[in-house]
Amino acid sequence: MPEALLVEILTEELPPKSLRALSEAFRDRLLAELAKAQLVSAGVAAKSFATPRRLAVLIPGVAAAGQDRETEVTGPSSKAPAQAIEGFARKHGVSVDALERRTTPKGEVVVARSRVKGQVLKSILASLVEEALKALPIPKLMRWGAGEAQFVRPVHGLVMLHGGQVVPGTVLGLSSSNRTQGHRFMGKGEIALASADEYENKLRSGMVIADFSARRREIDTQLKAAAQREQGALGAYQDLLDEVSALVEHPTVYAGGFEASFLQVPQECLILTMRQNQKYFPLFDAAGKLLPKFLIVSNMQVADPRHIIGGNERVVRPRLEDARFFYDQDRRLRLEERVPQLAKVVHHNKLGSQLDRVRRIQALAARIAEKLGSDVKTAERAAWLSKADLLTGMVGEFPELQGTMGRYYALHDGEPLAVADAIEAHYWPRFAGDRLPEGAVACAVALADKLDALSGMFGIGQQPTGEKDPFGLRRAALGVVRILVERKLAISLHDLVGTDVQAFVQERFAGYLKEQGYSTLQVDAVLSQNPARLDVVPQQLEAVKAFQSLPEAESLAAANKRVANILRQAQAKGESFGAAQRNGLKEAAEISLFDALQKATGSANQCFERGDYAGYLKTFAVLKTPVDLFFDKVMVMAEEKALRENRLGLLAELRKAMNRVADISKLAV
């Protein structure tokens, strides 16, 4: 009967940031290999376990041996040379006489039929586990001891248990058993497993919560309870929660504190110090201000935690003292005095120093601020100081604080608030969903920073390729999109960057718009017009959606597509045509279309000028009947040249008028 299969690799401390991914990849690969060997049914829900010292997989319903099965392989033509047929038979383990003949559309062929014995779990499990481990996303392998085994960390134990039976085998130089280890300090040492199914419960009795998600939930519950007891809030802590869940096997949360005098240092510095260096959870008051308290997730549960709390408080104090030292030292030199030193910091060997970059950003920020009707001098000042904090001790220690510390130091130097705010915000948005700069000056500097990065890297041929984007240009382009669109900035992208960068930004813009719920057809219809102002595109898309709801929309889109094809074919043949002349048209249907188009265009243009894009498109709904009649009654490519050119000119005017907001032909399916 099928039974549960347990595989556990007992290791030294695994990398915390990749622990969960490693465990899930191990589970998925091993399950896939067992399914391929027909030892487990497709769709079985396997469970992964991951702690700092182990990776494990529990797979229910694994057979000891797969069923024998018939195989059938089609070979060469029955008229092929005897040598070829003999080779085919030998390859598939049958005699030539046992080959069958079968008629196919290509003629008669030989067929080899054979019976393949099912795979035996105990014969293949060790090799499957070995291969699954080799396939894990591990950037760097280690060796240990005198053997040749390699893994992300040294391995000290191997469990391979099918039901209640040990599956014999060797993986990474270790022989399998049914024995694992509990908690390093609080457990009872070695744990013998009577069956695979009791793994999780037996480890719990050994003070190990093996399930990563269960351990994470337990930590989360304890953190919230402790924060409430300490009358504080946790703030944003989910990323740290994931990391800490990979650092402990049996979590217990304790509360610690530090001297309130450290709160004179910007709280971002203290928060980063505690979270990044110590893996502590800072606590905040209701207004989001840092309290002199933090939570510790310990791997030890003790009756009297004073020595654990005291030890952590002693460890964090020098870290906080370092932060205070950097802050005090940095403020001794004004930001503006640091700027010339940026000449010694290489931005890119083909793009010059950071000072060269600052000068470019300053010039571009001034142009953008002028176009936005903002204070050009303030934008120039903010851009000039924007990278100065890169040379401070605090940012040298914590690069994540670039911009943030620039704001603090600018305010200390007496710079205007708008300058200080722009220095901090010019890096925003740093990631998807991050906040945006506020105010025209901050937006101007942020846009200049990102557009300079894009133009510079594109200029030296460093565009992103495939999944590789070492300079974060996709993120920069999306930042440009979000700032222009969500801050509703009336500025032309075409006036700021070249066509290659425009196209790259537009690609990111298309993805952004689709995430907002617009269809591919709608997005293509608007963006195919290469709009200069991104801020109006959402309004244009709403207009397209409104147009699509009209009963005339489908017919007009199809007609527009037909017009585009006619004009393209005419141009390919060398036809030239200008504006249509009414007195040059003959048929009543084409004269009717000419008059209707002139009338609709006049009304539509008024809508366009006041930004009523929906009204603009709806105005052309009246053209359905004259357009249908035109194509029913008029031969566009008439033999008479003047008449043909007039008709082509009429269609060109129709297409130009209707497509001022969007290419309606893109909506035709």
- Confidence at 198, pLDDT banded by 50, 70, 90: very high
Of the options 3.40.50.12170, 3.40.190.10, 3.90.226.10, 1.10.3210.10, the CATH number for the domain spanning 336-519: 1.10.3210.10
pLDDT over 70, % of the chain: 100
Q: pLDDT value at position 542?
A: 96
Q: pLDDT value at position 334?
A: 98
Which residue, 253, 338, 245, is CA-closest to 49?
245
Whole-angstrom distance, CA of residue 370 vs CA of residue 437: 17
Give the global pTM.
0.82
Q: pLDDT value at position 98?
A: 87
**Longest CA span, the chain:** 103
Q: pLDDT value at position 577?
A: 84
Comparing 336-519 with 550-667, is the CATH topology the same? Answer: no
- Confidence at 66, pLDDT banded by 50, 70, 90: confident
Q: pLDDT tens for residues 152-193?
A: 999 999 999 999 999 999 999 999 999 999 999 998 789 999
Q: pLDDT tens for residues 450-495?
A: 999 999 999 999 999 888 899 999 999 999 999 999 999 999 999 9
Q: Give 497's contacts (C-beta < 8 A, 6+ positions apart).
A: 451, 454, 455, 505
Tokens of 569: 């074919």
Q: pLDDT value at position 119?
A: 86
Q: pLDDT value at position 159?
A: 98
Question: At residue 329, does pLDDT exceed 90?
Answer: yes
Q: Assess contact for 214 and 180: CB atoms under 8 A.
A: no
Q: pLDDT value at position 245?
A: 97
Mean pLDDT, range 563-573, rounded to an integer: 93
Q: pLDDT value at position 576?
A: 84
Whole-angstrom distance, CA of residue 305 vs CA of residue 323: 27
Question: At residue 92, does pLDDT exceed 90?
Answer: no
Q: pLDDT value at position 145?
A: 85
Question: At residue 569, does pLDDT exceed 90?
Answer: yes
- Confidence at 139, pLDDT banded by 50, 70, 90: confident
Mean pLDDT, range 597-618, rounded to an integer: 94
Mean pLDDT, range 420-443, rounded to an integer: 96
Protein fold of 550-667:
Isoleucyl-tRNA Synthetase; Domain 1 (1.10.730)
Domain residue limits, the chain: 3-65+120-205, 69-116, 212-330, 336-519, 550-667
Question: At residue 118, does pLDDT exceed 80?
Answer: no
The dihedrals phi and psi of 374, each to the nearest 5 degrees, come to -100, 180
Q: pLDDT value at position 243?
A: 95
Average pLDDT in the chain: 94
Question: At residue 597, does pLDDT exceed 80?
Answer: yes
Question: At residue 116, does pLDDT exceed 80?
Answer: no
Mean pLDDT, range 105-116, rounded to an integer: 85
Q: pLDDT value at position 558?
A: 92
Q: pLDDT tens for residues 272-301?
A: 999 999 999 999 999 999 999 999 999 999
Q: pLDDT tens for residues 199-249?
A: 999 999 999 999 999 999 999 999 999 999 999 999 999 999 999 999 999
DSSP string, 208-267: ----HHHHHHHHHHHHHHHHHHTT-B--S-HHHHHHHHTT-SS-EEEEEE--GGGGGS-H
The dihedrals phi and psi of 439, each to the nearest 5 degrees, come to 90, 150
CB 88: neighbour CB atoms within 10 A? 20
Q: pLDDT value at position 341?
A: 98
